[in-house]
Structure 1
């Protein structure tokens, strides 16, 4: 890794419609394809209730008919199976140029897991990896999901950490296609936890793990 601390722009918002955030990501990635010297970005936000499917995801893990449902379902270019977003879940979208870190997708996934493990540790929770799977678990419950897209070594999509969401939305799917491992939230272990506090911890851990200097900005795309 480059020993010099890069500047990474931190953009924080509350609840943002998925389509808008997706458009932000696409614009930021396109700009960095044209000019690889642009600084990195970390977007932290929440989404209204929505189910997202990875590029190659199967509909078999939906427990409802996506064509005749009140629930919004969208297929996007990330990897992985179906997942659920809703308020109370902290979503992170790093737009990083991996040329300046490591051109290694497995390394990048492990780094994202490390960020989340450190966040959980700040609250006294022991986050764990599961061999062969991507994400972070606490006492057998999956608290964080990760799904990425990397194009010309520029990243988009990212991670989702269940802080204090309404967990009932997960009952309508097989989250990430994993049948035998339940999902969970930080709130189940720490009643009353506040998403705003966790968002701050995520920023701190991200800066440590990726060795960047976060500068809070207003995103203009």
Structure 2
């Protein structure tokens, strides 16, 4: 079981370019697993963790409802935003500057073969990270992601999640609002959930801006502990 995870910070990257890069890493791992099985070999499969910020973009999961996007193509263009239908689970979500997006591309055979546990540990990583900022984040029953003030009229989502897995290899991941422009969330029904607000870490802390690298460091520390992983950093790259 290979628990080494290669970390790459892609900086600000176009969504489609990053998606293609994810797919390439995902395919390499799946193909290696298939070859191992066919050839009776045991070549270790790699694990990756990508950090990225995207320009304004809306993505709709394979089970999502397009009506949850509340604007047309012209209005999207006026907001300098893009739209993609993609192959993760979940409904519609938004990515943009000031948001930390994480894409773990893991072979869960190296860790545990349980998608439910995988999602819960990603949530726990975010919950523990926000706890370091003295925020009581938690799960909302039946709603994947991380929330504040669950069970009250003030419930609000701070981190969205949606993943895809095949042959126990994962892709897509989580989006944590740190310094996000919350106005962009008004153009959709986030994750298809009506009457629930969205928030960002800087808003909750009453700060104009929170240090993104500091938050990334805390996320990685908790990810490594929860997954018992060894993180190896790769240089920023062009995808």
Counterpart pick for 1:182 among 174, 189, 197: 197
Q: Which deviations, in whole Å up to 9, do the C-alpha atoms of 1:163-199 show, x marking residues without a partner?
A: 0011110000000011021110001112131112111
User: Where does residue 104 of structure 2 map in the other structure?
Assistant: 94
User: Where does residue 25 of structure 1 map in the other structure?
Assistant: 22
Task: Go from structure 1 to structure 2 and tell me whether the alpha carbon gap of 1:220 and 1:59 turns closer, same or farther (over 3 Å shift).
Answer: closer
Question: For the Cα contact (< 8 Å) 2:10–2:238, is it kept in 1?
Answer: no
Note the C-alpha offset of 1:68. Answer: 6.6
Counterpart pick for 1:74 among 58, 79, 84: 84
Q: Which has the larger radius of gyration?
A: 2
Q: Tell me if 1:206 matches 2:203.
A: no
User: Where does residue 157 of structure 1 map in the other structure?
Assistant: 172
Q: Which deviations, in whole Å up to 9, do the C-alpha atoms of 1:45-70 show, x marking residues without a partner?
A: 10000000001211111111247741
Mapped to 2, the partners of 1:141 and 1:66 lie a distance apart of: 28
Q: Give the RMSD, CA atoms, in angstroms.
A: 1.6
User: Where does residue 148 of structure 1 map in the other structure?
Assistant: 163
Task: Go from structure 1 to structure 2 and tell me whether the alpha carbon gap of 1:86 and 1:220 turns closer, same or farther (over 3 Å shift).
Answer: closer
Aligned residues: 218
- TM-score normalised to the size of structure 1? 0.94
Question: For the Cα contact (< 8 Å) 2:3–2:111, is it kept in 1?
Answer: no
Gaps of 5+ in 2: 34-43, 150-154
Gaps of 5+ in 1: none
- Describe how 1:6-21 pairs up with structure 2 within 5 A: 6-21=3-18
Q: Secondary structure at the match of 1:161?
A: strand
Mapped to 2, the partners of 1:137 and 1:76 lie a distance apart of: 24
Which ranges of 4 or more aligned residues in structure 1 deviate by more than 6 Å? none
